[in-house]
Chain A
């Protein structure tokens, strides 16, 4: 069954947006194929590839054994001879089992070939906490990959970005890690672009304009940040600008600087744990490049350095950033 496709005004779920992107790219380009566990007749753990086998056949909707290393390696090998594979990690947590193939094979390939080779693969990683998945179904491992040159890393927050970024990732000639947040799959709805709407990689997006402070965020945290910013505007008439990074590697440093120079204050919010997270890089970068423009301390709201995510609801809620915690941090920063 084709996706509930597309006029750009249709509101679809985040999950449906991903499905549309995959479907349309497979329609558009023979070189694109999908591989992963249970993605064939079953349609994938989250039903993203439901109906793909009927349309594209088993060879292009390849059910693999539980072999994450092999999934990434096969994608890389096929990319070497002109394919554009999209590999699915059933849960992003399991990318750790294929880590070597990502960071040592795919990421280094172009470099060790002296620039004579491209590696157009996408690895989709359903990630994120807030769904009581426990330690092995909630991780946000994006920073592992942001630290490795040669990889691009994206983390969409809305259906429009999810679709447009996945299309851009598939069309990009580099290995791209695509972190889709499980908690957004069915919860978030919105319009999406048509078959040719791509959201360029490496470009951040102002999700809410403001002049009093900048909130740099990405992924699922975009939504509580928007809520917190709205509350701040209501409560204190303070307008916070919410900058959605969308792509974590390469980072849109220009957009961060522009916003921080305008507002003079910055808070960074992410779901991943704190130390050496993406926020650490943003903070260091702002300190290096915009120190003179700052009117307050750089603030981070993140999960503390615990495993994402403890299972019991009170534990999970305790560690995850939410609207309340973000609001409190923004208010304090605004008052500084």
Chain B
């Protein structure tokens, strides 16, 4: 199965998503340094090719189940940047209306299941979404994300086995950025690749270079087609690297400078820009235009978040139970 061919417009759209995601997270870092936002920020800078490439082209009814570095996937799925920013700020116009931070919320009408901090525990819920689609004979798919660190949490095993037995329409995307907080891959795995585990469940596991947007897109599209056809899940492991520390106050002294520089040289954005330039879809002027456009969008998002009211204290007691 080959991935559907992308039109020029689609390529431009993906480029926009890539740049918007990067700009959004850069702004979050800045706001964090300025002390303007509370709580943890878990930057996915360096990993955007995975979140954008895998979430791009999903239907509205399809679901994503993102983890902490997958802000790009939420943007691609259509969560408005202003709403996301208000969420980060803890304001009333955020998805949580101030109840929780960052990516811990979602919007079922957009097909977004926001996770909790219990890493990997999103996967059983993602299976439930996929099982619901199966019960209704709908061919919607679920793209569920997790880090290689989370791969060792027991729920991941339970979910993959269940998905395999039920041949669910689900794509497991493992973002292997080589470190789980400070723990390097070798200290957490006695196998060379996470993707080999798929064999044990009885579905395909593929290993993809995660900094190449088009390769991630192609691999995900093949898995999505398989899922829609009722042939069951796929595990896609995407090798990548996060540029920032685990969270913004982590200096990441557990890894070497060379390692970081090596991976920065593999920045997914210039790589995609070279491709667009070759296709004559990008030049210096349009690149600058894009820079200005995403900056404007982020400014608007920040302005929206700043002007959004704080929730009032007693609202803390609302939304615990459905009426």
Residue positions of A touching B, CB distance < 8 A: 33, 59-60, 62, 64-65, 67, 69-70, 72-83, 85, 100-101, 104-105, 108, 110-120, 149-150, 152, 172-174, 250
Contacts and interface: CB of A to CB of B under 8 A. Distances in A.
A111 B127 contact: no
B131 A112 contact: no
Interface centre among B124, B319, B323, by most chain A C-beta atoms within 10 angstroms, is: B124
B95 A73 contact: no
Contacts of B318: 115
Contacts, number: 145
Given A79-B128, A104-B118, A118-B322, A74 B162 contact: yes
B94 A114 contact: yes
B213 interface: no
B100 A112 contact: yes
A82 B321 contact: no
Interface centre among A60, A73, A114, A119, by most chain B C-beta atoms within 10 angstroms, is: A114
Contact of B135 (A80, A83, A111, A116): A83
A117 B108 contact: yes
A69 B318 CA distance: 28
Contact of A111 (B106, B129, B154, B319): B319
Contact of A114 (B98, B154, B158, B321): B98
A69 B320 contact: no
B26 interface: no
Contacts of B116: 104-105, 108, 112
Interface in B97-134: 97-100, 104-108, 113-114, 116-118, 121, 123-134
B177 interface: no
A173 B322 contact: yes
Nearest to B160: A70
Contacts of B94: 114
Contact of A73 (B100, B121, B132): B121
Contact of B99 (A75, A83, A111, A118): A111
Contact of B128 (A78, A118, A173): A78
Interface string B71-98: 0000000000000000000000011111
A80 B128 CA distance: 9
A113 B159 contact: no
Contacts of A74: 124-125, 127-128, 131, 162
Contact of A80 (B98, B125, B159, B322): B125
A110 B319 contact: yes
Interface of B: 94-100, 104-108, 113-114, 116-118, 121, 123-135, 154-155, 158-159, 161-162, 165, 318-323
A112 B158 contact: no
A60 B136 CA distance: 11
Contacts of A110: 319-322
Contact of B107 (A70, A72, A111, A116): A116
A149 B131 contact: no
A174 B322 contact: yes
A104 B125 CA distance: 12
Contacts of B107: 113, 116
Given A108-B116, A110-B320, A112-B100, A77 B134 contact: no
B127 A70 contact: yes
B125 A64 contact: no
A149 B320 contact: yes
A77 B129 contact: yes
Contact of B124 (A60, A70, A119): A70
A83 B105 contact: no
Given A64-B162, A114-B96, A173-B322, A69 B132 contact: no
Given A82-B132, A104-B116, 8 more contacts: A70-B127, A73-B125, A77-B126, A77-B130, A81-B132, A111-B96, A113-B107, A116-B107
List 3 A-B pairs, minimum CB-CB distance, nearest first: A77-B128, A73-B124, A114-B97
Contact of A69 (B114, B129, B154): B154
A204 B48 CA distance: 54
Interface centre among B98, B104, B125, B161, by most chain A C-beta atoms within 10 angstroms, is: B125
A306 to B, nearest CB: 29
A44 to B, nearest CB: 19
Nearest to A63: B165
A192 to B, nearest CB: 27
Nearest to B318: A115
A65 B320 contact: no
B169 to A, nearest CB: 12
Contacts of B130: 77
Nearest to A113: B105
B114 to A, nearest CB: 7
B161 A67 contact: yes
A280 B321 CA distance: 23
B125 A111 contact: no
B121 A113 contact: no
